Amino acid sequence: MLEVVRKIVNSFLPSNILVLWLGFLPFIMWGGFYEGPKVLYFLIGSFFVCTSLIVNTYKKPLKIGKVDLFFLLWLILLSVSSFLGVHPQESFTGGSYRHQGVIFFLALWVTGKRTSILSTNSKRLLIKAVAFGVVAEAVIAAMQFISGSLYFGRPLGTIGETNAVAGYLAMGTYFVYKTLPLKYLVLPVLSIFLSASRAGGLAVATFLAAINRKFFIPILVAALMFVGIVSTSQMTSLFEDRLLFWKMGMTAVAEKPITGYGAESGESIYNTLFARERINLELLMVDRSHNLFLDIAMWSGIPGLFVFALWLYHVFALSDWHKRFALLSFLIYSFFQPLSVVHWILLIITINI
């Protein structure tokens, strides 16, 4: 009976469909909304992925390694923090703008495990699908720049925020490098340059420098010059002040260091802190500290941050040279910018291919 169920499920979610599902995710949008439709698309698909993973363990037991254990332990801590946090229901289901609740991160882990047991040929196909998606996104962003279809002078791609597009392109450069001729690397690099994203520029430069060690220093110097030029030409506001976000975030962690506030608690935290400082946000929303590690500490407390850091350490320890720099480019971007679902997906695919 279980074998029949397994065949039925696999008929609905063969490996090629899984590859197409993940590869198409960055281009999902609806009615002028970007993040919400992507997360909904991801969560619906992850239900079938989870079912497929469960029934396939009947034939071949699922291996749970040290990396999995640390991520699952962090997920448990995040769940406890969410249960005790500022809004348990939203923390589990995923509220606010990004919808990255406990269920989202569980779906992310399940997707990673299903990716890890793909055949070698299917993994190659997934790498190609992501690479072509990155090239397509780079072309879309460049065409938006050329045609003038911009938001405050910068392209939004199909992701909806300029820095998010640049971060996706920077992280995806690893996949382009893995499967396409080197000349195609020009496309994401050019689009990141057109986006004038400092975090994206530093992130992509980090990976490019790893391709040929002789160019490590010149590429990083060029990236720093790019950051300097953009920084002097861009207007800043109170609502883009990372130093203020980091200061407020550290204040929040200091006030609740053990359990944190739960997943997707950033909007509630910053609303409270801005009100305390008598700064009127008006119709604006701040839901992230613009630093992944600070967000993790706010969500799951210092213990959660420690376990999450251990997870990342073991991920790095098991990675080869180029993958380590791909992961490092992710971390550099995440140190300055909020993470979209497309960034998390690229991270989990990178880890598991």
Domains of the chain, residue spans? 66-237+304-352
Residue percentage of the chain with pLDDT more than 90: 67
Cα–Cα separations (whole angstroms), residue 16 to 19, 68, 121, 126, 133: 5, 24, 10, 8, 15
Neighbour-count burial for 284-318, b at 16+ CB within 10 Å, e otherwise: eebbbbbbbbbbbbbbbbbbbbebbebbbebbeee
Q: What is the pLDDT of residue 3?
A: 52
Q: Cβ contacts of residue 48 below 8 Å, gap of 6+?
A: 9, 12, 13
Work out the widest C-alpha separation in the chain, in whole angstroms: 66
Q: Which residue has the tokens 């200061």?
A: 247
Q: What are phi and psi of 154, to 5 degrees?
A: -135, 145
Phi (first) and psi of residue 98, to 5 degrees: -95, -15
Please give the DSSP secondary-structure letter assigned to residue 161.
S
Which of 46, 60, 57, 61 has the alpha carbon at shortest distance from 13? Answer: 46
SS3 category, 30: strand
CA dist., res. 132 & res. 226, Å (int): 26
Which pLDDT score, from 0 to 100, does residue 8 have? 44
Which residue, among 97, 95, 88, 76, has the nearest Cα to 308 in the 3D structure?
A: 76
Confidence grade of residue 2 (pLDDT, cut at 50, 70, 90): very low
Can you tell me the distance from the alpha carbon of 116 to that of 314, in angstroms, rounded to the nearest whole number? Answer: 16
Tens digits of residue pLDDT in 207-257? 988 887 777 777 777 777 777 777 666 655 555 688 899 999 999 999 999
Full-model pTM:
0.92
What is the per-residue pLDDT across 134-151, written as a single tens digit (0 to 9) for each?
Answer: 999 999 999 999 999 888
| DSSP state letter for 60 | S
Tell me if 12 sits within 8 A of 29, measured CB to CB: no
Provide the mean pLDDT of the chain: 89
pLDDT value for 234: 63
Residue 9: what pLDDT? 46
Mean pLDDT for the stretch of residues 6-34: 78
